[in-house]
Amino acid sequence: MKILVVDDHAVVREGVRRLLATIDGAEVHEAATGQDAMALARSLDPDVVVLDINLGGTSGLEVLRSLKAENTASRIVMFTMHSEPSYAMRALVAGASGYVSKSAGAEELVTAVRSIVSGDRYLDSTIASDLVFSTAEGRDPLHKLTNREVDILRLLGEGRSFSEIAATFGIAYKTVANAASRLKEKLGVARTADLIRLSVERRAV
């Protein structure tokens, strides 16, 4: 079984590699960036991709969408610090087979990998419970956002200007400004500074 671990922190990659190498027959590879992850996924055709959401300038969800757009047979489990239900929901909708918080026990990730290789989906127990109640109550405002709005919110939190965001996505400055206005309305804030604060607090993807 070939596993690709994608995380921008070398210490995390090393720890996850050692952990997953304990699975019988596992061949574990590593990537630090979204670009490297895509290249290795094409050449290795891994059975499982263990993917972080924050990759230093790139969203792991962007990598997830790209992998699914290429019709890869790889099953993808998000392994991330984000335990909020909105992140798990967005990942599952984008095509992830599993979602595990880094605060979960080490064996939880091993269980997740084994489960998704068998064709099942996997959510760690805390996230699964929170997701059920959050969805039922409709209390998480990030559920209201489109993928592009989430991407713009994330980049605002990284300190990017409207012009820089427009260049990143190849869209007009006015399109970004309009998206920011919609974000304020959906998230109930008045200023762009409030969006930035919210993004930093929530570490939006």
Confidence label for 141 from pLDDT (cuts 50, 70 and 90): low
DSSP string, 58-99: SBHHHHHHHHHHTT---EEEEEES---HHHHHHHHHHT-SEE
Q: Which residues pair with 2 in a beta bridge?
A: 27
- 159-163, 176-180, 186-190: which has the minimum mean pLDDT? 186-190
- Type of residue found at 164: E
Computed over every residue of the chain, the mean pLDDT equals: 84
Query: pTM for the full model?
Result: 0.68
- Contacts with 147 (C-beta within 8 Å, 6 or more apart), sequence order: 61, 65, 90, 94
Residue 61 in tokens: 């969800």
Kindly report the CATH number that applies to the domain delimited by 2-137.
Answer: 3.40.50.2300
Radius of gyration for the alpha carbons in the chain, expressed in angstroms and rounded: 17
> What is the C-alpha separation between 63 and 6, in angstroms, rounded?
10
> What is the C-alpha separation between 124 and 40, in angstroms, rounded?
27
Pick the CATH number of 145-202 from 1.10.10.10, 3.30.460.80, 3.30.470.10, 3.40.50.850: 1.10.10.10
Domain extents in the chain: 2-137, 145-202
How many CB atoms are located within 10 Å of the residue 203 CB? Answer: 15
Q: Tell me the average pLDDT across 170-176.
A: 92
Q: Tell me the average pLDDT across 183-203.
A: 80
Tens digits of per-residue pLDDT, 20-29? Answer: 999 999 999 9
| Sheet of 98-101, strands arranged across | 27-31, 2-6, 48-51, 75-80, 98-101, 122-123
Pairing of strands 122-123, 2-6: unpaired
Tens digits of per-residue pLDDT, 84-120? Answer: 777 787 788 788 999 998 888 778 899 999 999 988 8
DSSP string, 143-201: GG--HHHHHHHHHHHTT--HHHHHHHHT--HHHHHHHHHHHHHHHT-SSHHHHHHHHHH
Give the pLDDT score at 137. Answer: 44
